[in-house]
Structure formats: structure tokens, C-alpha cells
Amino acid sequence: MTHSGKAEHGVPAARTGVSTDGTEVFAADREIGRGLAAVDWSSTPLGPPADWPQSLRTAVSILLSSRFPMWMAWGPELTFFCNAAYRRDTLGRKYPWALGRPASEVWAEIWGDIGPRIDRVLATGEATWDEALLLFLERSGYTEESYHTFSYSPLRDDDDTVVGMLCVVSEDTERVIGERRMATLRDLGSDPSVIRTEQEVLEFAGRQLARNGRDLPFTLTYLFREDGSSRLAGSTGLPGGHPLAVPVLRAEDTDALWPAAELSRGATALVDLEDGRFPDLPGGDWPQAPRQALVVPLLQQGNAPYGFLVAGLNRYRALDDGYRGFVELTAGHLASGVGSARSYETQQQRAEELAELDRAKTTFFSNISHEFRTPLTLIMGPLAELRGRLADDPWARSELDIIHRNGLRLSKLVNTLLDFSRIEAGRMQARYEPVDLAAVTAELASVFRSAMDKAGLAFHVDCRPLGRPVHLDRDMWEKVILNLLSNALKFTFDGSVSVTVREEDGRAVVTVEDTGVGVPAAEVPRLFERFHRIENARSRSNEGSGIGLALVQELVTLHGGTITARSAEGRGTSFTIHLPFGTAHLPADAVAPAQAATVPAGVSSADPYLQEALRWLPQGTADRPADAPQEQILPDGVTAGRPADVGLPARVLIADDNADMREYLGRLLAGAGYHVDAVTDGQEALEAVRRNAPDLLVSDVMMPRMDGLQLVAALRGDSRTASLPVLLLSARAGQEASIEGLQAGADDYLVKPFAAAELLARVEANVKLARLRTHHARWRNALVDSLQEAFFVCDDKGAVIEINAAFTDILGYGPQGLPYAPVHPWWPDERTDPEAHRAVSEAFDQLLGDPSGSYTIPVTHRDGHRVWVTASFAHAQDPDSGRQVTVGTFRDVTAEHYAIQRESALASLSTRLSRATSLPEALSGALEELQTLWRARCVLAAVFDGGAEPSLTATDGSDWRDLPAEQRTAITEVRQHPALTSVPQPTGAGITVEHPTGPMVVWIDLGEHRPFTEEDQLLLTLLAGHLAQGLTRAHQIDQQRETAIALQRAILGPSSLPEGFAVRYEPATQPLEVGGDWYDTISLPDGRIGIVVGDCVGRGLQAATVMGQLRSACRALLLQDASPAQTLMALDYFAATVPGALCTTVFCGVLDPESGRLTYSSAGHPPGILAHADGTTHLLEDGRSLPLAVRPGRERPEAEYVMPARGTLLLYTDGLVERRRRPLTAGIDQASEAVQDGRDTAVDDLATRIMTRLAPAGGYDDDVALLLYRHPAPLDMSFPAESAQLAPVRKALRSWLAQCQLPPHTVQNVLVAAGEACANAIEHGHRDAPGETVRLRAEAFVQDLRVTVTDSGRWKAPQPELNAHRGRGLTLMRSLMQQVTVTPGAAGTTVHLHTRIA
Amino acid sequence: MTTPLTLVPGRRPDGTHHLAVSGEIDMSNIGALADALSTTAGPVVLDLTDVEYLDSAGLSVLFAHADRLELIATPLLAPVLKVSGLSDLATVHGLD
């Protein structure tokens, strides 16, 4: 489209198309770019994008191409821009309205917070950094609590002036609020005491809730009572007696504030508080009160809620899932606390009851054990009948078999006990009859053959007839042999058992020998002790009363025999019985004649032994898969039910070495709906638990390999199983046994025999209690898992033993890999990244060594990418194991880390660029910065400036030709990519940047196989943008500065002054080097010197331009006509044509340096000051007229003054002497004094002194020009080191001395002394190199005269005997002058002569 | 080039040698003065009335002949002649 009308008015035709209207600057982001392009920029102070400066365009490009949330403000109104990420995270509904608007309007609601920060950035150019700053935004339709971590950094225009700011922001709202809520939940769970009353629980919780006045401005906790009413049990955030805090809500009150009835059914309610009923509602930590309250029930599993929690809601946050979940978790915690407290009270009651029961049982058993026999007989008898009758019913038969076997076992035990008591009471009714010992023994042994076979043991029975009978009581002998064999079977796992009968030394010898586990030597003597059991002996069963062998010994003794034992641990045990023949050793009344063995001996009485032994052996070994050692017991014929109030069927593991007991318990529990597994000893139980922990372990105490107590200890010692509930079963009655069990850490203890109902009740109670108890653990786990921060627990060696879901999210390492031993797999590789590895290693030492702390470290995600985390940790005591653990959390700060890295990288690059005084320095400095930042092997920049090959700047100093061909190709290729687009390379990246002399490729070579990550790419793009801007700026500044300085110096004044002059110039306007004042000295053709000091009206650049013209004109005029008055009159005409030149004041003089004659004219200029050698002062007040151009054409007067010798002339502009509220004359007097005081100072030093002395306190506020001349000017001459030069030098010196108007004798003394010095210089200094230069300088002060002779040789020490006259020369100098100093030096010798002017 | 120096030899009425010197005496021209003095024997009256400059180089020549010299000088040369000690060795007129 073309607006021809505008074109007619000289405005260029409107640019057409995207490429020319400037909106291509928005191309980096299509979406936001469209929004930005739609803005009517011409109505903003920035004007149309086509006119935007390069710096703004660069800033917008960087902004739009960034994936990090950013916004920026530019120009006088701080016009607002943002990128897509910012729009998404923060801007909300304000998009696209905000684009192009003043930032103060966009963020009006937080301008009070951010405005001052932005002002500071704009004023100081320094970046700000705020972490998690609370800001109340209006972006979602309500005032919203939000947190932001952001940095404002200055944006500069092409002139390096700060014109805006860039904000890189990450919104932390979710994190901050999440952490705050998590802290409350953590605090709620942090109560160290476990055993508390309900009231204590609620008080503790109340204190924690009160600490979070932001999420919970107020809370009320109600508990239901049995009558359906609700009682206020706790409140936070409300003053006592507040109308909201109704103490009791009656059940029938339907208008009650809180809908208690609904809540008692488990419903949740949202109650509106804004109906004016509660005008004084407190707001917690907020200025305004909640609008709503969320009321949630305190839920109880399987039962009606305990009560409900009323939570006043933070009006600055929406009630989202997170907020609702927080309130519900809080309520859940309160509920579990109330539940724990109530359940604890119940448990305590129950424990007292159980203790009472145990006491009764113990008494009972001790009193009536001997009464067992009768009932046992009555059980076993009918049982045998029943077994016969129900032989066809396998189910009944199986049950009856158990009863039968255990009846036998019990009978055996009771019998044994009774045997003992009989023996002890001497009432054993023995009947010794002569028997064939070998046959009887062999027969008894044969009973065990099948059991031995089943156990896989070789069974050798070697019972050869003895030839004569042995008197035995058959019953007793049976017990002897069966006990010994049973014992052998029990303790022998492989090898053999042998029974032998022999006659030795006139006695019958019976040996029972096994290859079993044996007993330690120390235990052998105690084998026959009653109730003594060998601890830790491996056996097939731990059943046994410990009285078998004791009984054997008693019985053998009754037979007049002896029994001995030999045993070796691991090799076996052998029992040897010696029995005497005959009857002499037996009580005569007990000896009976031989009886015919009508009943096969041993069969009936052996049954209990055999049955028992068989039960020790594995059942159906062949059918059990090798990898499933545990028996799974399914409810047999019972419909699987569920224990009440338990969600999933609870899993119970049974550990018992008694197969009957395993089966019995299994059936019982499976029938009650539990999922049951069973194992045969503690070791297996431990393994099974570790594989898959059940809800409850029911374990016998006495078990082979690992008993119940050891099992409990092992479980408690392992943090993974420490909390597993354990119910111990034992036959050992009595308080001590149960205390032992509970001390070992069992949760409950049940003494055999027990009723099925009691077992089920205990199991159920324990499962429920465990679930309640582990509610804490589960709740803790849920809490830990819901943390947004990664959570970990380390053991004392630093191995990570617990982690949460966030840990896995951040690092990629999951719980299945636990424990993670150090060095942890996420440590950076030591080889490829030693620095990061060291950082982590140091942090790890800190973790182990310090009680608490935090650190930020780089770690490697499982997939290989770099993650930065900030970890906090603290040491703690593991309450279960007592070991020291370290608990820590960490947060993924990768984005922050890189944001900070970007900030600091940008800052250091900017600093480096701004410090550079030239374009090449800026570039090489920037490359060094990049090299340092990336620890790169090399960073180089190739500028394609049109030459034959690119000009290369490299950190390693290499040249374009030094680069390998493929690198040159790759660099050239990068140039084809659009500017500011990072192009990844195998070991780094390249990017094209605009350099003032052509496109430039910046190339970063990391060197190693370190990845150049996306973060790096982004950073490189940002830095490259800055670099381009910086280079442009450096280039422009370079040019401007050079131009300006050259121009200023050209107009200021002469670059070199004639001898005797000193000048000072102080412009009022920094950093200009010129102002409206000037001074000038002009060497005129006739040897005289023109002197001009002038002062244009005003100051600064404008005045300087006027000054420059006047100075040049004045100089030209003086050269043409060396008359000050004529010159000024001509200048009047000239000045009249120069705007701003009117009223310029000028002092114009012409000085004859020989005679000191000064002709001058003043155009309204302050008078020159002449300080005489005698201390008087003369003001050059004649020859005065109007300032320039006031009356062009009017004659100007001229005056003349002859400067006396050693007089000092001061010319100046009024800036030196004019002060407010002080007459000009006062300033002139002050200046006069200053000159007088410095009569004896070299003019250059004097100039400095005057400037310092007259400077006002705050420095000169007007331009000052100052010119000093002392007459005569110092003599300064150089001549070749030849004796012929002495006469002309002398002549010149004599003439100069005449100008100084010194007494004749002084002149002669100076002449001779200087002549001697010159002669020395010629003769000695240049003996070997004649013709070199000697310099003589003479300067007169008011009272002093100084001569310096310098040569470039070395003087030799005077040797009068060789050169008598030279020695005289030095003597002469010393006697003629006040002071003579000869300073020899490497570069030459200097002679200072000094004399007073009398 | 040497510093201009004029030497006018002559005899006094009593026959003693007389040498009138005018100009400046420095190291560049002491050879001429030395030569002039060497050509004479016996006492010499050296007239330095018109000498405007005399340095240690010139003094060295005068010291060589000090015992037969009678100097006529001006106050201008007095410091040099006194300081060097020549006035103690030779008869000097006209210093006051």
C-alpha cells in the first residue's frame, strides 16, 4: 500500500511488507511476535519498530528467543515486552493487553514493590536479584499470593545509556506454598512423644497449625461425642470466645454453623463466611479475613469420623486440588493422632488384663500338671475309636491324626515328668527280668528304621547275642533306647546312626552313636543335666523338654548301670551304656522271672517317640518346588473372608518348626480370611520377610537354626523390617518368658496352649494396630513421596538407603537400586569433569562430617544430563536402630543456577566490554571471558570483513592459516546461519555475530568431549547478543572519542608553548576538554610572542564552538598585524558575525621576550597581574575597552608595560577569581597574593599551585583559563660537545644574564662556573665520542639563579696531578657558586649550579 | 673554530717582555697563549685588562709561568685569580 499523499509531502513512501516495516524483529516467536506486531507502536514513545535502535532490536530478539520467562521495559515510559514463557507462567489474563503498555500500568498492583527496584537499576546500571519475593498479582481475577525469583538487569541503548531493564523471572509460587504446607505437615508428624492422650495430641497439632497463618488463617477442631453432638477440641487463629468457635454443636441443631451431620457421614463442606455474620474475623497472617472455610471430617477407617476440622481459607489463593489436599492431609493427621491416642488407651487396658491371665495360667499349670494323665487317657481312648470310625473321612481323619499325635506327645511328656517325680519319690515300680539285651535293643531300634530311612540316614544295628541275659525293666529300657535314638535322629542331618550291643569286661555294653552335630566339649558334662538344653545346637526340631537324657541316666542308674557320652562338635555323639549281668545290683523284690513276650515289645510305647520323630522330617519333600521353601496354606474348604475393617487381606507369615502347629495355625488364619505363608525356622522366616514383608509374623520362640527371639532381633536390626509386627508363640509359660519376648521387640506374646479364638483376636488386634501404627509410617511415606523436593536418608557410611519419588524424578535413580553406596552413581565423572567431581566430593565430606548444612552441587542425571541441586541435610538418630543417619532434601536449582550463571556471565562480559578502550580490546577481552566461562580450550572470532581471508582473533593467538582446513570450512559454514543462532559443533559451538566491520563467527572449542548443552546454547546466544551490541558501542565510542578529542584539542590552544610560559585549562562541563574560555600564544615573525586569553559567554560545547572561531580569528589577525588594539578592533567585526560571540572578553598582548616589553589591549577582560621580583604587584589596567562586538568600529586603546626582570605575569579568565557574593577585586587580590607567594617557584608548578589555591570548595563551576609568564624565559640550549662552542654559548648566556638584570660580578661568576661545567662536559664527558650534545639550561627566579649542564657521558673523579686545571675548574665552580652538585648517572652527568641573586 | 683572542707582544721600556691579551680565554684558545708565553724568556708583564673571560684552562697556562709573570688585570677577573691562588704566586695589579 502506498500513501501517495504523504509522499508528496516529502515523507518517504510507507514501507511495505514484513521485511521493511521493522516487525521482523518479532520473528523469533511466532505467537508473541504476532501479539507484538499488532501493537500500535507509533502511539508509544518507542515509535514504529522500523525506527528502533539496534540495541532495542537485539534485546527484543533475545527476549523472544528465550525459553525462560522474561519481560523487559524500554524507553521513557518503560514500555512492556514479554516472551511466551512469561506469558504462560505469570502474565495470565493480562495478555495481550499488556504488550506495549507502560510497565507501571501493566503491573500497577505491584508497582510499589517493583517500581523502586526498576528505578534503582535505571539509576545505577546495577542488576537486582530477588529470591521468592511475595507479590500480590491481579492476573487471575483475584488478588493472588504469588512468589517470584527474578533479576532486573539494565538494558542500554546504542549510546550505552541505560534506557530500560530486562527481567528474568522464575515463578516460585508453587514451590514456596508447597514448602510451607509441607513444613506444616512435617511439623504435625514431628511429635517426638508417641504415647499421649487425645488432648495432648490435639494441643500439639494446634501449635503446629497456628504456625501456618497463611494457609490456615484459623482452624477449629471438633470431636463427635456419643450422643451425636460435637465438642470443640481445639482452635487456632481465633481469639477466645469468638462467635465462630461454638463450644458444643448439638446433633439436632440443623441451623448450626458447621454441618456436623453431613461431616459425620464423611462428607466435606465449603462454608461461606462473607455474609456479614462475622465482621471481626481475623485474617491469620493476611491483612484480610478468609472468605470461606473448608470443613473436612477426621476420618477413621471403617468407622464414623472422629470429628471434623474447620479450616479458614487463605483468600489470596484459589481452593485448588493442592490446597484441598493439604487441608485433608492435615485432617488426616489429626484423625490418626486421635486414633493412636484412643487405641493406645485400649491397648494399655488389654495388656493389664493379659498379664493377669498369664499369672493365673502359670498357677494353674503348676498345680494340676500331674492331673493330665486322666484327661489325656480319656482323650486318647475315644480318639483311637474315633479314628477307626472316621477312617473314611480324610478331612476328619487328618484332624484326628493331629490330635492323636499331639495327645501322644503330651502323654509322653506328662509320663516323663511323672517318671521323674516317681524316681525322685522313690516310688518307681521297676520289674527287672532277664532278657536278651541284643534282641530287645535290636527290636526297639527297628522301630526307628523307617524314620532313619526317611531322614536319609544310614542306620546300622549291630546287636549280636551276648550269651547270657541282662536283667531289665522293659518299659524303662524302651525309654532309654528310644530317647537315645530320637536324640540321634534329631541332631543328625547326614551320615549314620548306629546301635551296637557287646559284652566287654564282664558287662553288657550298648552304644548309640551318630554322626550328627555333636556338642561342644564344655557341654558334654552337662548333657545329662535335667532341663539343660544345648543352646544354638542345630537340630531337626527345637521341640523337647530337655529332660530326655536326664531320664535316660536316671533309668540306667536304676539298672545299676552307667551311661557316658563322648561328643565332638560337627563329628557326632556317642552314648555308651554299661550294664552289669546278674541281679546282685538290683533290689531283690524287683527281680522277676523271665516272661514270654506276648506283646511285641516297644510297639505301643514307642509310638509317641516315633510319631514325634517323623514329624520332624520334611513332609512330602519330593512334591515341594525347590525355590518355594515356604508352605502356602490356603483356606481349606472355608470361604475366604476378610477380617473386619481391614482393606486388603492381611498377609501373615507363620514360622514354626512343628509341622502340626504350622498346619493348625495356617488353617485357622486362612479360615479367618488371612493370606498365610509358613516357614519352618527363624532363618527361613527372615529370608521370607526380606523378600516380601507380610503384615504380621507369627513365630514360635523355640526353633532350630534361628529361634524366635533371634528372629525378632534380626528383624528389628534391619531398617527395612524394623517395624514388622511380630506375635511370638511359646510353650514357656510365665512372666519372665513373656518379658523376654517383649524385650526382644515382639509386639505381642501368646503362650501355648491357646484358644483359637484368642489367637485370632490377637492376630487381628496386631494387624489392626500395626496398620494404625504404620499409618504413621505410611503417612510419612506418602508425605515424603509428595514432597516436591527430593528426599533421601543416608546411613553412617553415606550410602543412600531411602529416597522419594521426587528424588527419582530429579536424578533418575529409583528405589529399586537402593542402597546407593558412595561413590554414588550421580556423581560427575572424575575423569571428564574433575572440578564438579571434587565439588561433590567435598559436599559429601560435609554431609558426613557436619551435623547439618546445605550446599549446591552439580550432579549427573541417570540419562547423563547435568542437574544442579541445592541440598540441605541434618544428622538424626534412627529411632529403630539407634544409628546415626543423615536426612536430607534437595531441590533442582538447575534453572536458577543457569539463570545466575547467565546473569554473572552477562555482567562480566558487559564489564569487560565497557572497560575496553578500543574495538580489538573489546573483542579479545570478550573472547577471554567466554573462554573462562566455558573453560574452553580455545575461543576464536573470525571477522569476514571482505579481505582475502577472515581476520582472526583467538585466545591462543593462532592465525587463520594455523587452523585445520576442516575447522576453517566449519567456521565459514556457521556464517551461513542467521545471526545470533548457536550452531552446535562436535566439541563446542559457533555463532554469527555482527561485527562493525562485517559478519563475525565466534567459535567455542571446549576441547574435551564435554557436551555443549542446550543451556550453553542459550547462554551463548545471549552473550553473543551482548557482544554484538558491545562491539558496536565500542566501535562508535572509539570513533566519536577520537573525533571529539582531535577537534577539541584543535580548537583549544597551541600544543607547545614558548619557554617561560605555563598554562592551565579547566572546562566547567565534563567530560568536554574545552569550554568558552581560551588561551593562546603565537610566535610572531619578528620574534615577539602574541599572548591571548579570552572568555566567551556561556560554557559547554556551544561556547566552545564560538571560542574556537574567535581563537583562530584572533591568531590570524595577530599574525597579520602585531598590534593588540588593531587586532581586537578587527575581531569586533568578526565577532559581530558569529552568533554567541557578543560580549566575549579578550586580553590581547604582544611580548618582546628580549626586552620584556608588553604591548596590550583589553576587551573588557579582567586585568593581568604582574608580580615584581621586589614583591610589589602591578595590574595591567590600561588599554581597556568594551567587550567584543559591543561597538564594532570604535577605536580601542593600547597600553605598554615593560616587564622587569624576574617578574611574573598572570593572565586569566574570570572563572579563576569570580565568586558569588564577593567583589571581583577580592578574587584578583587573592590571585595576586598567590603569584607573589610563588615568585620563587617554576612557572609550571606555580600554575598548579594557583589553580589549587583558588579553587572553590566544590571545584570550579565555570571555565577557567590561566596563563603565566616569567621574564626572562629560561635559557635552554643544546650544543655539540666541541670546545669551539664555548664562546657562542657564553655569548648567549651573557645576553640572557643581562636580561635578568644581575650585578656584573654575579654575571661573571655565573659565566665562569657555567663555562667550567661546559668545558668539563666537552672534555670529560665526550672524550671518546666528540660531537655529542650538551644541554645548558638557566632559569632565573626572584632570588635564585639556577644553571644546569647535562651531558651524556660519565665524569671521572678529578685527578689534579694529571689535570691540574680541571681540578681547578671544579674548585672554581664551587667557590663562585652557592651550591654545586655533580650527579653522575648511567645516561650522563648533570651539574647543577645555584647562586643567590644578591 | 677557536674563540677569538688577540695577543700583542712587545717590550717594556725597561726591556721586559710585555704581552697584551684581549678577548676571552678558554680551552679552545689556550694553545695560542701558551705558545706566546713560551717564545719569551725571563719576566713577562701580561696585560689582561681587555680579557673578558678567563677560566681554569687559561689559569693552567698562567700557572705554568707564574714565577716570571706580572699580571695586569681588572676587578672582573679578581675572583678567578684569587680563588685559584694565582694572585699569591704571581704579582697581580689592578684587582681592586
* DSSP track, A376-430: HHHHHHHHHHHHHHTTT-HHHHHHHHHHHHHHHHHHHHHHHHHHHHHHHHT----
Does A146 reside within a domain? Answer: yes
% chain A with pLDDT above 70: 86
Interchain CB distance below 8 Å, B1 and A1284: yes
Give chain A's domain count.
8
Q: Is residue A368 scored above 70 in pLDDT?
A: no
**Predicted local confidence at residue A605, as pLDDT:** 59
Nearest by CB to A1286, from B3, B60, B63: name it: B3
Which residues of chain A does B27 touch, with a Cβ-Cβ cutoff of 8 Å? 1283, 1286, 1319, 1322-1323
Q: What is the mean pLDDT of residues A954-969?
A: 88
The ipTM assigned to this model is: 0.92
Interchain CB distance below 8 Å, A1319 and B26: yes
Residues A1128 and A1195 in one domain: yes
Amino acid at A1290: R
Confidence band (pLDDT; 50, 70, 90) for A542?
low
State the CATH number of the domain containing residue A655: 3.40.50.2300
Does A513 reside within a domain? Answer: yes
Nearest by CB to A1315, from B4, B53, B63: name it: B53
Distance from CA of B55 to the nearest CA of A (A): 6
Is the bond preceding residue A694 a cis peptide, omega within 30 degrees? no
Q: What is the mean pLDDT of residues A59-72?
A: 85
Where do the H-state alpha helices sit in A853-918? 894-915
Does A1190 reside within a domain? Answer: yes
Which residues of chain B does A1290 touch, with a Cβ-Cβ cutoff of 8 Å? 24, 26, 53
**Of A567, A585, A616, which residue constitutes the final position of a domain?**
A616
Q: How many CB pairs under 8 A join A and B?
A: 75
**Predicted local confidence at residue A473, as pLDDT:** 86
Burial of A1305 (0-12, 13-18, 19+ CB in 10 A): middle
Residues A888 and A801 in one domain: yes
A1228: left (phi over 0), alpha (psi -120 to 50) or beta: alpha
Average pLDDT, chain A: 82
**Predicted local confidence at residue A12, as pLDDT:** 41
Which residues of chain A does B1 touch, with a Cβ-Cβ cutoff of 8 Å? 1284
Q: Would you mind telling me the total number of residues written for chain A in this entry?
A: 1398
Does A503 reside within a domain? Answer: yes
Cβ A1343 vs Cβ A1397: under 8 Å: yes
pLDDT digits (tens, 9 = 90+) for A137-156: 888 888 889 898 888 888 88
Cβ A1235 vs Cβ A1208: under 8 Å: yes
Indicate which of A1308, A1309, A1323 best probes the interface with B, i.e. most B CBs within 10 Å of its own CB. Answer: A1308
Coil, strand or helix: which one is A1178? strand
Interchain CB distance below 8 Å, B79 and A1319: no
Residues A954 and A1068 in one domain: no
Average pLDDT, chain B: 88
Report the alpha-carbon angle A1139-A1145-A1151, nearest 5. Answer: 125
Q: What is the mean pLDDT of residues A588-597?
A: 73
Does A621 reside within a domain? Answer: no
Interchain CB distance below 8 Å, A1369 and B56: yes
**Predicted local confidence at residue A720, as pLDDT:** 64
State the CATH number of the domain containing residue A947: 3.30.450.40
Residues A702 and A847 in one domain: no
Confidence band (pLDDT; 50, 70, 90) for A599?
very low
Does A383 reside within a domain? Answer: no
Interchain CB distance below 8 Å, B60 and A1375: no
Which residues of chain B does A1375 touch, with a Cβ-Cβ cutoff of 8 Å? 79, 83
State the CATH number of the domain containing residue A877: 3.30.450.20
Distance, in Å, from the CA atom of A903 to the CA atom of A1023, rounded to the nearest integer, reads 10
Distance, in Å, from the CA atom of A1019 to the CA atom of A904, rounded to the nearest integer, reads 11
Poorest-pLDDT segment among A213-217, A361-365, A649-653: A361-365
Exposure string of A994-1033, with b = 16+ CB inside 10 Å and e = fewer, is: bbbeebbbbbbbbeeebebeebbbbbbbbbbbbbbbbbbb
Poorest-pLDDT segment among A912-926, A1005-1019, A1195-1209, A1264-1278: A1005-1019
Q: Is residue A1040 scored above 90 in pLDDT?
A: no
- A1250/A873: higher pLDDT: A1250
Exposure string of A1235-1247, with b = 16+ CB inside 10 Å and e = fewer, is: bbebbebebeebb
Q: Is residue A108 scored above 70 in pLDDT?
A: yes
- A1085/A632: higher pLDDT: A1085
Distance from CA of A1299 to the nearest CA of B (A): 19
Residues A1266 and A1289 in one domain: no
Coil, strand or helix: which one is A503? strand
pLDDT digits (tens, 9 = 90+) for A380-407: 767 877 887 887 888 888 888 888 877 8
Interchain CB distance below 8 Å, A1312 and B63: no
Distance, in Å, from the CA atom of B20 to the CA atom of B24, rounded to the nearest integer, reads 13
**Predicted local confidence at residue A1357, as pLDDT:** 54
CA closest to B80 among chain A residues: A1372
Q: What is the mean pLDDT of residues A240-264?
A: 80
DSSP A1068: S
Amino acid at A302: G
Interchain CB distance below 8 Å, B59 and A1319: no
Interchain CB distance below 8 Å, B80 and A1312: yes
Query: Could you tell me which residues come within 8 angstroms of residue A1050 by beta carbon, excluding any fewer than 6 positions away?
Result: A1108
Distance from CA of A1336 to the nearest CA of B (A): 17
Does A404 reside within a domain? Answer: no
Cβ A735 vs Cβ A362: under 8 Å: yes
Cβ A1393 vs Cβ A1380: under 8 Å: yes
Confidence band (pLDDT; 50, 70, 90) for A643?
very low
Which residues of chain A does B75 touch, with a Cβ-Cβ cutoff of 8 Å? 1305
Distance, in Å, from the CA atom of A956 to the CA atom of A935, rounded to the nearest integer, reads 13
Indicate which of A1295, A1312, A1334 best probes the interface with B, i.e. most B CBs within 10 Å of its own CB. Answer: A1312
**Predicted local confidence at residue A644, as pLDDT:** 38
**Predicted local confidence at residue A1130, as pLDDT:** 93
Which residues of chain A does B4 touch, with a Cβ-Cβ cutoff of 8 Å? 1287
Q: Is residue A503 scored above 70 in pLDDT?
A: yes
Q: Which is nearest to A519 in space by CA: A550, A496, A487?
A: A487
Is the bond preceding residue A1256 a cis peptide, omega within 30 degrees? no
**Predicted local confidence at residue A875, as pLDDT:** 84
Distance from CA of B60 to the nearest CA of A (A): 5
- A881/A433: higher pLDDT: A433
Place of cell 522301630: A447
Residues A937 and A837 in one domain: no
Amino acid at A801: I
Query: Could you tell me which residues come within 8 angstroms of residue A761 by beta carbon, excluding any fewer than 6 positions away?
Result: none
State the CATH number of the domain containing residue A1077: 3.60.40.10
Distance, in Å, from the CA atom of A873 to the CA atom of A13, rounded to the nearest integer, reads 68
Confidence band (pLDDT; 50, 70, 90) for A1092?
very high
Instruction: Collect contacts of A814-820 with beta carbons under 8 A, ≥24 apart.
Output: A819/A795
Indicate which of B48, B51, B55 best probes the interface with A, i.e. most A CBs within 10 Å of its own CB. Answer: B55
Interchain CB distance below 8 Å, A1312 and B1: no
Distance from CA of B59 to the nearest CA of A (A): 7
- Dump strand ranges (E) for A1153-1206: 1157-1163, 1168-1171, 1177-1180, 1184-1185, 1199-1202
Distance from CA of A1109 to the nearest CA of B (A): 51
- A929/A1151: higher pLDDT: A1151
pLDDT digits (tens, 9 = 90+) for A1050-1072: 777 787 889 899 999 888 776 77
- Dump strand ranges (E) for A56-116: 70-74, 79-82
**Chain B residues within 8 A (CB-CB) of chain A?**
1-4, 24, 26-28, 53-57, 59-60, 63, 75-76, 79-80, 83-84
3-state secondary structure A725-752: CEEEEECCCCHHHHHHHHHHCCCEEEEC
Distance, in Å, from the CA atom of A1106 to the CA atom of A1077, rounded to the nearest integer, reads 10
Of the ranges A568-577, A798-807, A866-875, the best mean pLDDT one: A568-577
The x, y and z cell numbers of residue A668, run together, are 485357622
Distance, in Å, from the CA atom of A263 to the CA atom of A309, rounded to the nearest integer, reads 10
Q: Is residue A1241 scored above 80 in pLDDT?
A: yes
pLDDT digits (tens, 9 = 90+) for A1330-1381: 667 889 999 988 888 999 998 876 655 555 444 555 567 888 888 889 999 9
Query: Could you tell me which residues come within 8 angstroms of residue A590 by beta carbon, excluding any fewer than 6 positions away?
Result: A430, A431, A432, A473
Residues A129 and A239 in one domain: no
CA closest to B77 among chain A residues: A1308
Distance from CA of A1332 to the nearest CA of B (A): 17
Interchain CB distance below 8 Å, A1365 and B63: yes
* pTM (predicted TM-score): 0.41
Q: Would you mind telling me the total number of residues written for chain B in this entry?
A: 96
Confidence band (pLDDT; 50, 70, 90) for A1233?
very high
Interchain CB distance below 8 Å, B83 and A1371: yes
Q: What is the mean pLDDT of residues B80-96?
A: 85
Distance from CA of B38 to the nearest CA of A (A): 18
Does A405 reside within a domain? Answer: no
Exposure string of A826-857, with b = 16+ CB inside 10 Å and e = fewer, is: bbbeeeebeebbebbbebbeebeeeeeebbbb
Place of cell 530311612: A453
Cβ A1270 vs Cβ A1206: under 8 Å: yes
Confidence band (pLDDT; 50, 70, 90) for A1123?
very high
Distance from CA of B12 to the nearest CA of A (A): 30
- A346/A1092: higher pLDDT: A1092
End-to-end distance of chain A based on CA atoms, in angstroms? 94
Indicate which of B1, B30, B53, B56 best probes the interface with A, i.e. most A CBs within 10 Å of its own CB. Answer: B56
Of the ranges A926-930, A1015-1019, A1039-1043, the best mean pLDDT one: A926-930
Confidence band (pLDDT; 50, 70, 90) for A598?
very low
Cβ A497 vs Cβ A514: under 8 Å: yes
**Of A996, A1016, A1044, which residue constitutes the final position of a domain?**
A1044
Residues A756 and A669 in one domain: yes
**Predicted local confidence at residue A388, as pLDDT:** 78
**Predicted local confidence at residue A778, as pLDDT:** 61
Instruction: Collect contacts of A892-898 with beta carbons under 8 A, ≥24 apart.
Output: A892/A790, A892/A810, A892/A867, A892/A868, A893/A856, A893/A868, A893/A869, A894/A866, A894/A867, A894/A868, A894/A869, A894/A1015, A895/A68, A895/A170, A896/A149, A896/A170, A896/A868, A897/A856, A897/A868, A898/A868, A898/A1015, A898/A1018, A898/A1019
Nearest by CB to B57, from A1305, A1319, A1371: name it: A1319
Cβ A1024 vs Cβ A991: under 8 Å: yes
Q: Is residue A741 scored above 90 in pLDDT?
A: no
Residues A1127 and A1232 in one domain: yes
Q: Which is nearest to A1185 in space by CA: A1160, A1209, A1202, A1157?
A: A1160
Report the alpha-carbon angle A1215-A1216-A1217, nearest 5. Answer: 95
Residues A198 and A341 in one domain: yes
Nearest by CB to B56, from A1286, A1305, A1372: name it: A1372
Which residue range(s) make up the domain with A855?
789-892
Ordered domains of chain B (ranges, CATH):
5-93 (3.30.750.24)
Interchain CB distance below 8 Å, B26 and A1315: yes
The x, y and z cell numbers of residue A556, run together, are 540306667
Residues A954 and A1096 in one domain: no
**Of A1270, A1303, A1323, which residue constitutes the final position of a domain?**
A1270
pLDDT digits (tens, 9 = 90+) for A287-339: 888 988 999 998 887 788 889 999 999 999 888 888 888 898 888 888 888 88
CA closest to A1367 among chain B residues: B56
Of the ranges A663-667, A1145-1149, A1174-1178, the best mean pLDDT one: A1145-1149
pLDDT digits (tens, 9 = 90+) for A440-484: 888 888 888 888 888 888 999 898 888 888 998 888 888 888 889
Q: Is residue A754 scored above 70 in pLDDT?
A: no
Interchain CB distance below 8 Å, A1372 and B55: yes
Interchain CB distance below 8 Å, B2 and A1283: yes
CA closest to B3 among chain A residues: A1287
Residues A818 and A874 in one domain: yes
